[in-house]
Amino acid sequence: MLNKDNKIYVAGHHGLVGSAIWNNLKARGYNNLVGRSHKELDLTDQVAVKQFFDEEQPDAVVLAAAFVGGIMANSLYRADFIMMNMKIQCNVISEAYAHGVKKLLFLGSTCIYPKNAPQPMKEDCLLTSPLEYTNEEYAIAKIAGLKMCESYNLQYGTNYIAVMPTNLYGPNDNFHLENSHVMPAMMRKVYLAKLIHDGEWEKIAIDLNKRPVEGVSGAASHDEILTVLAKYGISDNKVVLWGTGTPLREFLWSEDMADASVHVLLNVNFSDIIGIEKYSSVHYGASTNGAVDRNHSAGRGGAIPALGEIRNCHINVGTGKELTIRKLSELVVKAVGFEGTVEFDATKPDGTMRKLIDVEKLHSLGWTHKVEIEDGVQKLFDWYRQSLED
């Protein structure tokens, strides 16, 4: 069990997930936190990562750093996505082990599951059929990361846990129209369509100065602004969204994700996940001082006959609830106070029709979500408007 004096390294502490985990730990009274920006520490640099662990000697690690991007980036930079993420994971996990880190939490993604996985997706459907081609490299890297955690635990008796969050939204979300996810993109489109109708050009300028669209800022002419926004389905009191609106999606408030992550970090051990109490005595009993014995493992390669095959030890993190994209648009319209028209262009692709995860394992470990989607959409819009004033 970690105490409040233990030093916790949060890798990726400026990101959507990492920043929320950092704030959650702070709120719980864990103030001995360590973070490094990408400029300060390149996690793909093995020597630099070793030097960091030598200097800081963290007691626990949260690995929330990753090389990420949308469908286009995943398609264009396939080698980068697998290599960069594998380097980050290998460097951090291997140095955590070498420096005797007590607990490690690895953050993945539900993109690890097969493209045609049965719904809702249980942890056990991992590696049962082919992945979605467009993000195959990222998914393979994340699968390797969770397997590293699993394998270190089985061979060395470490306590490394992997969690796989569903679609996230919340503070510090990405609202850039060219590469944002469905909810923030939809929200900004509806907001801008309302501002155009209301003639609120000063607010439009503030919005575009904060997040230019294709290089067009608030300094551009009204015609230039209207032209570029029209490319994204935004016009006077009207928004056009891609697809039919029928695909189902699950969303989790990022601060809920952080709370789940910290709950697992502080309260859940590998032995809890595999449900076999004797696992702890097999591994952790090997040393007289309570430390992991690095020269011996009673279960090298996981070959402990009493345990059988141990796999799929990761934990899905989500709500277990879903809604259609059309219903989501209605919640966004209500939050923004939009009185115009939302149309769906059925000639455009829908993407995956359903992507829901099973959260029974998470619930059994003592955590359930708190923020429902209806409240979360309003909270996100409130945050977005506040971000324009900062």
**Residues belonging to the active site:** 138
> What's the rounded Cα separation, in Å, for the pair 120 and 321?
10
215 in helix, strand or coil?
coil
CA 115 to chain centre: 18
By residue count, the chain amounts to: 390
Angle at 318 between CA 101 and CA 159, to 5 degrees: 15
Backbone angles phi, psi at 355, to 5 degrees: -150, 80
Whole-Å CA distances, 172 to 185, 373, 388 = 13, 17, 12
Strand bridging mode 60-63 / 8-11: parallel
Token pair 């609120």 is found at 200
Tokens representing 33 are: 């936190």
On whether the CB atoms of residues 177 and 227 are closer than 8 A, the answer is no
On whether the CB atoms of residues 146 and 312 are closer than 8 A, the answer is no
Residue 203: its H or E element: helix 201-210
Tokens representing 23 are: 């704030």
